C-alpha cells in the first residue's frame, strides 16, 4: 500500500514537473500502424492541443490485469487497454510515440479521482461505464463489452452455458457480484464450493473438485492464457460490462476526439487487429465485432 | 439485530459445523499428539527425529498455508478429501504438534524414578508409557490441553478458505448479501464465546477432578 502510494506520488511529481525520465513507452510498435505519420493540428485551448504542446500524454491503466493492462517484467505495460490508449496517443502525436506516452497505474478505487484531479489525461483500465460514474467523469466508447462468463475444462461437453449449470458445481468468489448473479440466474447450480480468490477456484477446477468457474470473462481469459490448452469459455456472456475510456466530465471536445479515434479504428480494422494480437492469440477466442459507440 | 434473527437457521447450521469441526479435529489432535509425544521420548532415535520433524514443521507453518497446501497441493499426488474431512485432518495435525509439546512437558514432569522402577520390574517401553508415565503426565497438562481446545475453536474459522461452510463463512456470506456486517460479526463473536466459555468451565472441572494431590 505504502509502495503504491509512493508510486502515485512519484508519478504525480513527474507529471507536475513535466520532466519525467524515459521510462515511458517506446511506442510506435504494435497496434499503432493506423496512425498518421505526421502530427495533426488542433484548436488552441483544446485538450488535444495541450497534450501535444506538453509533448506527452499521461494514461491511467491497470498494471495487474493480464491481457488488458499488465506491467510486464520489462517495465512496459501491455495489453488491450494499453493499445487502445496508444491509438489516442497516435492520433495526437503521429505514429512515432517514442517518449510521448506515460503510463500511470490506476487501480479501480482511484480512477475517478485521478481523472478529476487531472493526474491523467485519460483512463483505459477495464473501466465499466455506468450512470454513477458518469456523474463524475465522461466516457468515450465503449471499446469492448465484457460480461460474466463460464470457464470449464477443454474436454467438458456437459456445460454449454448458463442454462446447463443445474446441479453442477460452480466456483466463484465468496460475497462477489458474480456470485449474486449466479444465485439469481442459475439457482439450481451447486454453489457449495466458494473461495476467497479466483485462483483457488481455478485450482479446484484443475483438480476436478468443481466443474466450472464463473466471473467476468476478462478475468477468465487471463486464466486461459496462464494455462495454455487447459480451459475454454462456454456460452454467451450473461452480464453487460461496457468498457469505456474515462476523460474529464465536461471535456466534450476531447471525448468526441477519442470517440472519433475509436470509430476510425473500428472501420479500418485496427481495432480487430489489436484484439487479435493482445487477446485472441493467447486465448484462442474469436475476435468479436466492435461495440457501437455511445456518444452521449 | 433483525438480520441475525432472520438468518438464525443458517447461523445455527454454521455453528453446528464449527462445533463438529472442533470436536473431530481435537480428537485427531489428542491421538496423534500423544503418539508423537511418546515418539519424542522413545529410546529409538529415528522415531525421536520423526516426532521432532512432525512437531516443528506443523507448528511453524501458518495454518492458512497448511490448508492451502493440503487441499490443493496434495490433490496433485492423489490425496483428495471433501472440504470438511480435509479441514479435520489439517486442524487435527496442526493442533497435534502443540498437543505433543504439552504432553512432552508433562512427561518430563514425571519423576525419572517412576520409569526406572517400572523398567526394573520388567515392563516394556510401551507399557511404561501407557501404564505409568502418561496417566501422571496427562493430569498435569489438562490446563494447556484445554487452552489448545479453545484455540482450536477459533482456528476452525480458517476452514472457510477451503470452502467449509462453518460459522465464519456463513457470516461472511450473510454480510455480503445483507450489507449488515456489524450485527452479524457481533453475533459470531457471541457464538464463539458460547462454544468457548462452557469448554473453559469443563476444563477447569476436569483439572480439579484429576489433579494429583500432593
Instruction: Convert the pLDDT of each residue in B51-69 to its tens digit.
Output: 999 999 999 999 999 999 9
* Grid cell in block for residue A151: 470457464
Rounded to whole angstroms, the Cα distance separating A112 from B192 reads: 41
Lowest average pLDDT, out of A73-82, A156-165, B103-112, goes to A73-82
**Which residues of A touch chain B, with CB atoms under 8 Å apart?**
174-176, 179-180, 192-196, 200, 203-204, 207, 209
* Integer CA distances (angstroms), B57 to A205, B38, B41, B85, B96, in order: 29, 18, 18, 21, 11
Partner A contacted by B75 (CB < 8 A):
yes
Taking chain A, what is the end-to-end CA distance rounded to the nearest angstrom? 37
Q: What is the pLDDT of residues B23-47, one digit of tens each?
A: 999 999 999 999 999 999 988 999 9
Mean pLDDT of A224-241: 91
Local confidence band at A57 (pLDDT 50, 70, 90 cut-offs): very high
Out of A175, A195, A203, closest to residue B173 by CB: A175
Q: Please give the share of chain B, as a percent, with pLDDT higher than 70.
A: 99
- CA A123 – CA A24 distance, rounded (Å): 16
- Residue A6's pLDDT is 53
Mutate to test the interface with B, among A176, A200, A201 (most CBs of B within 10 A): A200
- Does residue B178 belong to the interface with chain A, where contact is any CB pair within 8 Å? no
On the CB side of B67, CA atoms within 13 Å amount to 20
Q: Tell me what the pLDDT averaged over chain B comes to.
A: 92
Confidence of residue A266 (pLDDT cuts 50, 70, 90): very high
Q: What is the mean pLDDT of residues A48-64?
A: 93
pLDDT (average), residues A258-274? 95
Under the banding of pLDDT at 50, 70 and 90, the label for residue A180 is confident
Is the pLDDT at A224 greater than 80? The verdict is yes
> Closest Cα partner for A36 from A230, A261, A191, A250?
A261
**Span A246-268, average pLDDT:** 95
Query: Which ranges of chain B would DSSP assign to H, the alpha helix?
Result: 2-6, 8-40, 45-60, 63-68, 83-109, 112-120, 125-127, 134-140, 142-155, 167-178, 181-210
**Local confidence band at A182 (pLDDT 50, 70, 90 cut-offs):** very high
pLDDT tens column, A91-147: 999 888 888 999 999 988 889 999 999 999 999 999 999 898 999 999 998 999 999
Average pLDDT on B8-21 reads: 92
| Cell numbers linked to A291 | 461495440
- Residues A186, A239: contact at Cβ < 8 Å? no
Amino acid at each position: 500500500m505504502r509502495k503504491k502510494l509512493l508510486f502515485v506520488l512519484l508519478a504525480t511529481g513527474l507529471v507536475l514537473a513535466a520532466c519525467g525520465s524515459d521510462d515511458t513507452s517506446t511506442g510506435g510498435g504494435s497496434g499503432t500502424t493506423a496512425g498518421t505519420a505526421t502530427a495533426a493540428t488542433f484548436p488552441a485551448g483544446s485538450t488535444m492541443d495541450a497534450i501535444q504542446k506538453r509533448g506527452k500524454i499521461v494514461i491511467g491503466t491497470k498494471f495487474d490485469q493480464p491481457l488488458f493492462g499488465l506491467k510486464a517484467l520489462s517495465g512496459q505495460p501491455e495489453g488491450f487497454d494499453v493499445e487502445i490508449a496508444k491509438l489516442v496517443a497516435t492520433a495526437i502525436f503521429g505514429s512515432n510515440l517514442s517518449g510521448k506516452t506515460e503510463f500511470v497505474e490506476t487501480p479501480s478505487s482511484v480512477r475517478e479521482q485521478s481523472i478529476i484531479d487531472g493526474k491523467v489525461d485519460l483512463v483505459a483500465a477495464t473501466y465499466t461505464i455506468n450512470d454513477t460514474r458518469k456523474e463524475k467523469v465522461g466516457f468515450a466508447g465503449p471499446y469492448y463489452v465484457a460480461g460474466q462468463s463460464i470457464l470449464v475444462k477443454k474436454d467438458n461437453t456437459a456445460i454449454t452455458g448458463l442454462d446447463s449449470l443445474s446441479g453442477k458445481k460452480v466456483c466463484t468468489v465468496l460475497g462477489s457480484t458474480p456470485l449474486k448473479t449466479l444465485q439469481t440466474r442459475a439457482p439450481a447450480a451447486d454453489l457449495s464450493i466458494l473461495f476467497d480468490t479466483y485462483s483457488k477456484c481455478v485450482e479446484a477446477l484443475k483438480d476436478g473438485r468443481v466443474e466450472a468457474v464463473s466471473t467476468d470473462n476478462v478475468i477468465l481469459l487471463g486464466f486461459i492464457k496462464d494455462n495454455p490448452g487447459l480451459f475454454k469459455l462456454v456460452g454467451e456472456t450473461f452480464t453487460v460490462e461496457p468498457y469505456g475510456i474515462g476523460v474529464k466530465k465536461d471535456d466534450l471536445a476531447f471525448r468526441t476526439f477519442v470517440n472519433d479515434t475509436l470509430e476510425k479504428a473500428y472501420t479500418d480494422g485496427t481495432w480487430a487487429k489489436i484484439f487479435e494480437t493482445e487477446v485472441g492469440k493467447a486465448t484462442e477466442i474469436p475476435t468479436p465485432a466492435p461495440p457501437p459507440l455511445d456518444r452521449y | 439485530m433483525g438480520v441475525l434473527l432472520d438468518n438464525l437457521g443458517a447461523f445455527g447450521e454454521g455453528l453446528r459445523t464449527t462445533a463438529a469441526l472442533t470436536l473431530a479435529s481435537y480428537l485427531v489432535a489428542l491421538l496423534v499428539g500423544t503418539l508423537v509425544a511418546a515418539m519424542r521420548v522413545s529410546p529409538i532415535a529415528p522415531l525421536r527425529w520423526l516426532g521432532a520433524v512432525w512437531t516443528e514443521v506443523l507448528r511453524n507453518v501458518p495454518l492458512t498455508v497448511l490448508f492451502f497446501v493440503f487441499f490443493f497441493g496434495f490433490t496433485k499426488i492423489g490425496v483428495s478429501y471433501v472440504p470438511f474431512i480435509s479441514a479435520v485432518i489439517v486442524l487435527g495435525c496442526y493442533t497435534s504438534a502443540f498437543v505433543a509439546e504439552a504432553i512432552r512437558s508433562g512427561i518430563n514432569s514425571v519423576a525419572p524414578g517412576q520409569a526406572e522402577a517400572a523398567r526394573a520390574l520388567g515392563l516394556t517401553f510401551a507399557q511404561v508409557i501407557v501404564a505409568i508415565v502418561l496417566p501422571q503426565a496427562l493430569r498435569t497438562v489438562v490446563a494447556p490441553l484445554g487452552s489448545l481446545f479453545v484455540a482450536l475453536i477459533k482456528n476452525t474459522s480458517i476452514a472457510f478458505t477451503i470452502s467449509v461452510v462453518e460459522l465464519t463463512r456463513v457470516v461472511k456470506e450473510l454480510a455480503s448479501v445483507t450489507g449488515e456486517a456489524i450485527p452479524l460479526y457481533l453475533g459470531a463473536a457471541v457464538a464463539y464465546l458460547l462454544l468457548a466459555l462452557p469448554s473453559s468451565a469443563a476444563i477447569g472441572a476436569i483439572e480439579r477432578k484429576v489433579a494429583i494431590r500432593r
